[in-house]
Every structure is written in C-alpha cells, then in structure tokens.
Amino acid sequence: MLENCKTAQERWGGVSEIIDNWLGSRQALISAFVSLPSAVIGEELNTRLSSFCDLLMDYLSSGHFEVYEQLMLEGKEFADGSEAAGEKLLPLIQVSTDRALDFNDDFTRFDEPSVAEIRDFSTRLSELGESLEERFDLEDKMIALLHESHREQASTES
C-alpha cells in the first residue's frame, strides 16, 4: 500500500493517517462499549450489541491486517531494533484478540436471556473491557516504539 511512496515523509505520513483513522475507530468502539450496560434487554440491547461487535471486529482486523503490519515494516526499514521489540508486543495483544473473538462469537445477539446468562454477559463484558484497556496500552506502546520514535528521522530523510 505505502511501498510506492517516493520519500520517507510520504511513506510514514501515510502510516500516520492509517493510525489516526484507526484511533478514531478505537474511540467509536469505546463509545459503543460504554453504551452497552445502559441498554434495555431486548431489541435495544441487540442493536447496540450488534453494532459494538461489528466495530470490534473491524477494529481488530484493521489492527492485525493493516496497522501492525505497517508499523512493523517501518521498524524493519529503520533497522534500529524497534522491530524486534514490536514483535514481543504482538503475542500480548493476541490475548485480547482471542478474548474479543470469543465474546463476539458468544454475544452477537442476546435473545430472552436467563438471569444466569445476564450475569455471565455482565462478567464477560467487564473482562472484555479490562482486556481492551490492556490492548490499547500495548498498541500505544507499539505506536510509540515503531512510529513516533521515527517521526523526526523520517522528516529529515524527505
């Protein structure tokens, strides 16, 4: 995608745009997440839950198949050891990916739940929130390590 850019600024500026869009998606995901507990069980909850799960899957996909790939490529091209450090973060991020995928599989729709199912949903939603918070911290570290640390160097190579 960015391989055809002529200067470092064009190339890594494009990564900045990808990251900015992705972080905007993160904000939408967080907003959808915090709206879930206030939803009335039934169609309202199903609508919000479906929207949240769609945003969650889009966010995860963008991270794994676009953002992380571009960040790792940037670290590799600068050859300053940041790529190896970034590689160590990926398995830690994968833990939250697995938890999010499981949540999506189990709760895309929530029809006529029992009290036990409501309790399980509440517990799992809380666990997912904690997992996403950890993920966001790890992703922010990855951005700082693989992109922000190269910003000045990329602008001098233009």
Write the pLDDT tens digit of every residue in 14-49. Answer: 678 889 899 999 999 999 999 999 999 999 999 999
113: left (phi over 0), alpha (psi -120 to 50) or beta: beta
Is position 33 within any domain? yes
Most confident listed range (69-78, 103-112, 123-132): 123-132
- Asked if residues 74 and 12 have their Cβ atoms less than 8 Å apart, the reply is yes
pTM assigned to the model: 0.84
Which residues does 28 contact at the CB level (< 8 Å), separation at least 6? 55
> Residue 153: pLDDT band by 50, 70, 90 thresholds?
low
Is position 3 within any domain? no
Is position 55 within any domain? yes
Whether 1 has a pLDDT exceeding 60, the answer reads: no
Is position 101 within any domain? yes
Write the pLDDT tens digit of every residue in 63-81. Answer: 999 999 989 988 888 788 8
Cα–Cα distance for residue pair 120/154, rounded to 1 Å? 48
Domain residues for the domain of 50 are 8-152
CATH number at residue 114: 1.20.120.1370
Mean pLDDT value across the chain: 85
Task: Quote the number of domains for the chain.
Answer: 1
Is position 27 within any domain? yes
